[in-house]
Amino acid sequence: MNILDKITLDKRKEVELRKSLIPVSQLEKSVLFEIQTISLATNLRNSKSGIIAEHKRRSPSKSVINNALNVQDVAKGYESAGVCGMSVLTDAKYFGGSLDDLLTARASCNLPLLRKEFIIDEYQLLEAKAYGADVILLIAAILTRDEIKQFSEFAKSLNLDVLLEVHNKEELHKSIMPSLDMLGVNNRNLKTFDVSLDTSKTLSNLIPDDFVKVSESGISNIQAIKELQPYGYQGFLIGENFMKTNNPGKSATAFIKTLEG
């Protein structure tokens, strides 16, 4: 059983519990449910840097990355750095995140916010909307084609952008459909945790140009981005690189200045 299977199994139990505690009607009454969402896909299309910066305390592959920072400072720092969007991990057990992190980020900045989560139920999309997300992540490795269609269409009905993540050709082929905005290629092999930018390069020409191409994992330097841009990538998700410093906003500022310089 790989880590993704384990996380998904735990997530199913967690979502059942959440559904029993907070009814859909309560989520729909959230003040944030009615606010206008900000499109990450549009931001990426119009950006020179394409950086999506992440708030992540820990991960299964790296254990603790940074527990000392508060989300408000990170969100404000990223916004002033000029990132295109912010990804907020909301999984507690494996990543140390929460929906409250999303709420705090929403109160602290005007960036498009991606709820980074293992989505296996429509209920989580309603949560995302109620807690201030603009974008949701769907992971092809844990969903069937029918689920991808169901969740992406439901997300669009809530005015949420959809980023779909793939790891290989098979996942990509089953996933391509009009209800997606962005296709993300994760460069990390989930069985071995090895990271290779070749994954993004190999899959790039299989992704139709209607979608914004996003590369995820293993992007820790300017060189990686310069290498991927000729392959049509407009978005780059940077997780650990900024978070492992004392001031992620400052790190992101320096990174983007150099990149655009």
Q: Catalytic residue positions?
A: 54, 56, 116, 165, 186, 216-217
* 54 closest CA partner among 152, 199, 163, 145: 163
* 15 closest CA partner among 97, 130, 92, 124: 124
Sign of the torsion formed by the C-alpha atoms of 236, 62, 106 and 78: negative
Q: What is the 3-state secondary structure (H, E, C) of 171-217?
A: HHHHHCCCCCCEEEEECECCCCCCECCHHHHHHHCCCCCCCEEEEEC
C-alpha to C-alpha distance for 198 and 175, rounded to whole angstroms: 20
The answer to whether 86 and 113 are in contact (CB under 8 A) is: yes
The DSSP letter of residue 52 is: E
Q: Within 13 Å and on the Cβ side, how many CA atoms surround 238?
A: 28
C-alpha to C-alpha distance for 64 and 69, rounded to whole angstroms: 12
Task: Output b/e per residue, 208-233; b: 16+ Cβ within 10 A.
Answer: eeebbbbbbbbbeeeebbebbeebeb
CB atoms within 10 A of CB 201: 17
Question: Which H/E stretch holds residue 36?
Answer: none
CB atoms within 10 A of CB 146: 9
